[in-house]
A and B are shown apart, each in its own frame.
Chain A
Amino acid sequence: MTTLAIQPAFALTTGLLVLLLLGLLFWPQKGLLAIWSVGKANAQRVLLEDALKFLFDSEYKGIPIRLNGFAGYLHISTDKAARLVESLRSIGLVQFQEDMLKLTDAGRSYALRIIRVHRIWERYLADETGVANKEWHGRADLKEHSMSLEAADLLAAQIGNPVFDPHGDPIPSSRGELPAYTGKPLSALKEGELGRIVHIEDEPGAIYAQILALGLYPGMQIYIMDVSEDRIQFAANGEECVLTPLFASNITVESLKEREPLKEKYAALSTLKLGETAEIQAISPSCRGQQRRRLMDLGIVPGTLIHTAFASAAGDPVAYQVMGATVAIRRSQANLIFIKPSSNTKV
C-alpha cells in the first residue's frame, strides 16, 4: 500500500506536534485563544477605569493620593501616570483642589459604576459558581470593564440584590450610594479589644492567599490577645492566630463596643467519632452558595442533633443521621460544619 510509505517516525512527530499546537491554542486560561480574548479589551479604557477606582478607594478611606502610589497601583511609570491624570482632567473626571487631586461628581459616579459591577460579579462568582475564592477578584477585574451596568443590575436582581460582596465590602447601590467608611485595620486594635472582621483586602494576592489559608473570613469575631512590634496575636472564633502587622493591615475590622461572650472553640463535624451524637453549632461562612443551601435543606442547621452512623468502604464520605434521614457528607464538607463539643445526647 502506497500510503504506508509515510514513515511512522515522521507521522508520530507530526502527531505530537499537532497535539502540542492544539494545546497551545486551546489550553484554558493560558492558551493563545484565552489570552487573545482577554487582550481584546480596550487597554486605554481599562487603564482609565482602574485609575478612577484607585482614586475613589483612596478618597473613600481618607488616604491622601500620591502620584507614586497611583503609578505603582496601575503598574505604570510616573510619567505615564502624570499624563493619565492630565487626560482624566481634560475630560472632566478629576480636578485639582488646593493642589489635591479630587474626583469630580462625574468621575465619582463613573468609579461607583465600575465598583458596583466588580462587586456584584464577585458576589455572583462566590454564590452561584464553583470558582475558587482566590480567583474572584482577578476575574471581576476583567469583567468590570466589559459588563454594562444594566447587565449587572439584572444579575443583581437575579441573586437577590446583594448589598455586600464576598469580601465584606458594601456594593454601591444602583443610585451610586455607599455607606460611610467605618472600618479600621486590624493592626490598629489594642490588646484586649474585641472586633469583627468586615473586610479582607484581596490585593496583593500573595498576602490574601495566606490570610485565607488561616481560615479568616468576614463576619468572624476576633479578640486581640497580645500586640508587640512584629506580631499580633489574636483569637478568631476561639482559634489562636498570629500575624505580622503588615499582614494584619490588610484585614479591616470594626470594633465591638460591648464585650460579647467569646464563644468556645468550635469543633468540626469531621472530628465526631462513629456512633457519637452532637448538636450542630454553625456552618462555616466559607461554605457558600449552593453547597450551603443544600446542607441546610438536609437539616444541617444550628440546634439540630447529628449522629455519625457509618463510614463508606473507603472511609470518606461518612453517613450521618440527621432529622430522621441518613445523608452522606464528605470530609471536606464535614470540616466546614461546626458542632458543640462534648455533648452526648440521643437522637
Chain B
Amino acid sequence: MENPNKPSHDALLSLANNLRWDLGVNLHDAVIESIYEDASRIARNAVHKEGDPATYTLERRIDQLVTSRWLGFPMMFLMLALVFWLTVAGANVPSGLLANVLVDALHPLLKNAAGSVGMPWWLSGVLIDGAYLSMAWVISVMLPPMAIFFPLFTLLEDLGYLPRVAFNMDSLFRKAGAHGKQALTLSMGFGCNAAGVIAARVIDSPRERLIAIITNNFSLCNGRWPTQILIATIFIGGAAPSYLAGVVSAGAVVGIAVLGIGFSLAVSWALSQTVLKGEASAFSLELPPYRPPRIWQTLYTSLVDRTLFVLWRAVVFAVPAGVVIWLVANLHMGELSLAEHFIYWANPLALVFGLNGVILLAYIIAIPANEIVIPTVLMLTVVSAGMTGEGAGAGVMFELESIEDTAQILQAGGWTLLTGINLMLFSLLHNPCSTTIYTIYKETKSLKWTAVATFLPIVLGLAVCFFVTQFWYLFQGG
C-alpha cells in the first residue's frame, strides 16, 4: 500500500543530502576524532599499566645507541657489510659443490644415458644441453647465496634492527622522494631483485612503494656479482699493475654497486618529481620493540617463503630459456646458425654502445637469470668466432675453471678494456630478469609500471654505455 503522505524515495534522499550540507565541511573527521577521543579517555581511566620499566629503559638505551648521530651509520654499514661478506664467502663452497654435481657430473651422465637409449641428438640437445643445463646452472649459482643471505636478513628484521635502519636512512630517502624503508628493499635487492620487489610490500604508501619497486633493479643482485668480479678481474685488474690488480678490480666492483645506489636515488627522485607525482603518499614507520629472534621460524620463512619461492620462479623461466639458447645456436639458416645471423647483424649497432653482438644476444636470451649470462656469452663467443677445442659444442653453456682461459676466449672474441667496462655498466643497467619482471607485475598488477620498470634501465644503460664509449673514442682519437 502506498501511503500518499509518505515522502517518495527520491525526496528522502534529496532531504538527506541537503541536511549534509548543513553539517559542515569536516563532519567525517569530527565524528572519527570524537570516537577516538572518547575511547582513549575511557581507556586512560580504566586501564592500569604494570609495565616492566627495566627492559623498557634498556630498549631505549639500545635505541639511542643505534640511532645516535655518530654511531648510527657506521654500525649500520658494518652490519650490512658483515651480512654481505658472510653471503659471498659462505656461498662459494656450496655453489662449487652444486655445480660439480649438477653440471660436471650429472650432465654428462644424462647425455650418455640419452645416447644409450637412442634419443636423437636434437632431442637430447634441447632437453639436456638446453633445458636441464640452464636449470642446473641457475640452481647452483642462485641457491647458496640466497639460502645464506635471506635467513641473515630475516634475523636482523626479526630482531627489530631493520626498522631502525629505515628510521636512520629516511632523511636521505626523503630527499629523493622515497621512503626510509626503501633502504631495506634496496639491501634486499643485493640478494635478489625479485625478493626486493616483494619486500616493498612493507611500504604502505602507494607512491613510495612503486618507487621502491621500479628502482630495485639498480641494486646489484647476487646473480650479477660473479659477472662483475670476473670481468673486473680480467679487464680492469689486467690493465692495472699486477701488485694493484686485486685492489683495483675489487674497487671497480664496489664502485659499480655504489653507482647502482646512486642511480637508485637519482631515479627515485626523478620518478617522484614526474610520472609518480600524483600518486598518493603517506609516510608511516613503526619501530617495534626489540625481541629475541625466533631462529627456527626465521629459517623456515626465509628458506621456504623467500629462497625456494624465488628459486622456483627462476627455474620455471630458466627451462624454456635453455631451450631457446640451444636452439639459436643449433638451428641453421643457410650456412650460419640463428645466433651467428643475429650476432653479425647486431655487431655494428652494438659497437656504437661499446658492446658487441654476442653480449646483446646473451642479454636477450639469458633474460631468465643473470647467472647464465657469462656461460651464454662464452658459448656464443666460441660459436661465432669459430673456435675449436673450447667448450662443449654449440648451444652448450660452459664456464672455465681458469680466469686466464676465460680471458683468452673473450680477447679472441674481440673484447677490449672498453668492452669490459661497458659490460659491467650494462650488467648493472639493463632490464630486470624475467623472474623480477613477473614479480613486479604480480606486485603492481599494472602493465604500465611493469613496462616502466623493464625498459627504463635498458634505456639508461644504453645511454650510459653510448656516452662512455663515444667519450672514450674521442679521447683516444678514434
Interface on A for B, CB 8 Å cutoff? Answer: 1-4, 6-9, 11-12, 15, 19, 28, 125, 128-131, 160, 163-164, 168, 170, 173, 175, 177, 179, 198, 218-219, 282-283, 285, 289-299, 301-304, 309-317, 319, 323, 325-330, 333
Contact = CB atoms under 8 A, between A and B. Distances in A.
Given A168-B25, A304-B40, A310-B63, A12 B474 contact: yes
Interface of B: 10, 14, 17-18, 20-22, 24-26, 28-29, 32-33, 36-37, 40-41, 60, 63-64, 67-69, 72-73, 167-168, 170-172, 174, 180, 204-207, 274-275, 277-289, 347-348, 351-352, 463, 466-467, 470-474, 478
A140 B313 CA distance: 44
B470 A312 contact: no
B351 A1 contact: yes
Contact of A327 (B287, B463, B471): B287
B63 A309 contact: yes
B467 A12 contact: yes
Contacts of B471: 8, 12
B20 A313 contact: no
Contact of B171 (A1, A302, A314, A326): A314
B18 A179 contact: yes
Nearest to A198: B25
Contact of A319 (B63, B351, B470): B63
A8 B21 contact: no
B25 A330 contact: no
Contacts of B28: 160
Given A298-B284, A303-B36, A304-B40, A315 B467 contact: no
A147 to B, nearest CB: 16
Given A3-B348, A179-B18, A129 B280 contact: yes
Contacts of B352: 3, 6, 11
B65 to A, nearest CB: 10
A8 B478 contact: yes
A189 to B, nearest CB: 19
Contacts of A314: 168, 170-172
Contact of A301 (B36, B72, B348, B474): B36
Given A130-B280, A296-B36, A330 B170 contact: yes
A130 B172 contact: no
Contacts of B470: 8, 11-12, 15
Contacts of A177: 14, 17-18
Query: Top 10 A-B pairs ranked by shortest CB distance?
Result: A313-B72, A314-B171, A301-B36, A8-B473, A290-B282, A328-B285, A291-B282, A8-B474, A326-B287, A313-B168
Given A302-B36, A303-B36, A327-B287, 7 more contacts: A7-B478, A128-B280, A283-B29, A312-B67, A313-B73, A314-B168, A315-B69
A313 B478 contact: no
A202 to B, nearest CB: 16
Contact of A328 (B24, B60, B167, B279): B167
Contacts of B478: 4, 7-8
A301 B25 contact: no
A326 B206 CA distance: 23
Contacts of B289: 326
24 contacts: A3-B348, A8-B472, A11-B473, A15-B467, A28-B275, A131-B277, A175-B14, A218-B25, A290-B280, A291-B282, A291-B283, A293-B282, A296-B32, A298-B284, A301-B33, A304-B40, A309-B63, A312-B171, A313-B67, A313-B72, A316-B170, A319-B287, A327-B286, A330-B283
A311 B287 CA distance: 12
Contacts of B288: 326
Contacts of B284: 294-295, 297-298, 327-328
Contact of B25 (A19, A164, A309): A164
Nearest to B36: A301
A11 B72 CA distance: 47
B277 A302 contact: no
A8 B466 CA distance: 10
Listed residue (B167, B174, B180, B348) with the most chain A CB atoms within 10 angstroms of its CB: B167
Contacts of A131: 277-278
Nearest to B174: A330
Contacts of B467: 12, 15
Nearest to B349: A3
Nearest to A295: B284
A173 B14 CA distance: 8
A312 B72 contact: yes
A125 B474 CA distance: 50
Nearest to A315: B171
B21 A163 contact: yes
B351 A15 contact: no
B281 to A, nearest CB: 4
Contacts of A291: 281-283
A171 B68 CA distance: 50
A106 to B, nearest CB: 20
Given A312-B72, A313-B168, A330-B170, A129 B279 contact: yes
A333 B283 contact: yes
A130 B33 contact: no
A291 to B, nearest CB: 4
A177 B36 CA distance: 34
Nearest to A218: B25
